[in-house]
Every structure is written in structure tokens, then in C-alpha cells.
Amino acid sequence: MPKYRCTVCGYIYDPEQGDLSGGIKPGTAFEDLPDTWVCPECGVGKDMFEKV
């Protein structure tokens, strides 16, 4: 599963890690993140991410 990078702040979403602060379990693909999910560092939406 590919990683995705926040184009605003540089945070990397790693599907193997998930995002525990945002309630996302490890093993969740970026595509499967809910539309309401936001970057845990800077708060912008999924549309601001690009595939690494």
C-alpha cells in the first residue's frame, strides 16, 4: 500500500501505521480513509495529499 504525503506540511501517511490520533487503525489504505479524515499535523483534508 502506497504512502501519501501532505503537500501543505509534509506529513507522511503510512498505511502500515495508520493514524491512531485520528482513530485510523494500522493497515488502512489511504483510499479507505473516511472523507472527514484530516492531516493529523496541520488539519487539511485528503485532497491535499499526494502519493509518495
Partner 1 sequence: MICEISKDVFWVGAVDWSVRHFHGHTFNTGSGTTYNAYLILGEKITLIDTVFGPFAAELLEQISGIVPPEKIDYIIANHVETDHSGALPEIMRAAPRAKLFGTAKCREGLYRHYYASWPFQTVKTGDKLSLGGNKAVTFIEAPMLHWPDSMFTYLDDGQVLFSNDAFGQHLAHSKRFADEIESGILMREAAKYYANILWPLSRLVIGKIAELRKSGLPVSLIAPSHGMIWRKDPGVIVENYARWAQNRPAAKAVLVYETMWGGTEKMAGAIYSGLLDAGVETAMFDINRADHSEIIGQMLEAGGYLFGSPTHDNGMLPNLAGFIHLLKGLRPQNRLAAVFGSFGWAGGAVKEIEKILSESGLALTCEGISAQYSPDPRDLEACRNFGREFGRKLIGAYK
Closer residue to partner 1, CB minimum distance, 32 or 41: 41
Out of 9, 12, 20, 52, which residue is the one contacting partner 1 (CB under 8 A)?
A: 9
Provide the 10 A C-beta neighbour count for residue 38.
Answer: 16
Q: In Å, how far from its chain's centre is CA 52?
A: 12
Stretch that binds partner 1, among 12-20, 24-32, 44-52 (CB under 8 A): 44-52
Alpha-carbon distance of 52 to 50, in angstroms, equals 6
Binding residues for partner 1, rule: CB under 8 A, are 7-9, 38-39, 41-45, 47-48
